[in-house]
């Protein structure tokens, strides 16, 4: 077995070539993993998590969310924008007021799955 057969794609050549090759074939697509990381990134901020936990209860306007979380309207608005771009929330206008609500049932499922991990010993 000469050097050409060794896996040398990186500075740390694999120790277990068989394992590496086997696992490589079963990994999810890079794109999916990237998108998944992006999704969790959205959940990975206290402000956004708190906003979502408010919206789990009821649709809420920007102003009320700001009040509930004791933050500025601007900060909340910026984060709502991110949540909306990620399609986790949606909104509707009623006169001057804009109400935000969850876009999706998955959101709560993901949230709850995380909560289980947090609360269990």
Partner DNA sequence: AGATCATATGATCATATGTTCATATGATCA
Partner DNA sequence: TGATCATATGAACATATGATCATATGATCT
Q: Which residues bind its own copies (CB under 8 A)?
A: 7, 9-16, 19-20, 22-24, 26-28, 32-46, 48-50, 53-54, 57-58, 60-64, 66-68, 70-73, 76, 97, 104, 106-107, 109-111, 113-120
Q: Which residue's CB is nearer to DNA, number 31 or number 120?
A: 31
Query: Contact between 88 and DNA (CB under 7 A)?
Result: no
For DNA, the binding residue among 19, 22, 74, 101 (CB under 7 A) is 74
Beta strand 97-102 with 89-94 is antiparallel
Rg (CA), the chain: 21
Bridge pairing between strands 60-61 and 97-102: antiparallel
Do the beta carbons of residue 86 and residue 102 sit within 8 Å?
A: no
Structure-block tokens of residue 85: 């771009």
Give kind and range of the element (H or E) at residue 34.
helix 30-43
Token digits of residue 88: 């986790």
Near DNA by CB under 7 A, which window of 1-9, 18-26, 27-35, 93-101? 93-101
In terms of CB distance, is 18 or 121 closer to DNA?
Answer: 18
- Interaction site with DNA (CB under 7 A): 12, 15, 41, 44-48, 61-63, 71-75, 77-82, 91, 93, 95-99
């Amino acid at each position: 077995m000469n050097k050409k057969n060794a896996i040398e794609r990186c500075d740390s050549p694999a120790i277990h070539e068989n394992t590496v090759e086997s696992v490589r074939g079963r990994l999810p697509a890079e794109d999916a993993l990237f998108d998944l990381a992006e999704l969790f990134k959205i959940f990975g901020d206290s402000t956004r998590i708190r906003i979502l936990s408010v919206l789990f209860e009821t649709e809420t306007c920007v102003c009320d969310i700001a009040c509930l979380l004791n933050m500025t309207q601007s900060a909340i608005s910026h984060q709502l924008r991110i949540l909306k771009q990620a399609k986790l929330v949606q909104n509707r206008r009623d006169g001057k007021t804009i109400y935000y609500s969850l876009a999706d049932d998955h959101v709560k499922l993901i949230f709850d799955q995380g909560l289980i991990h947090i609360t269990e010993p």
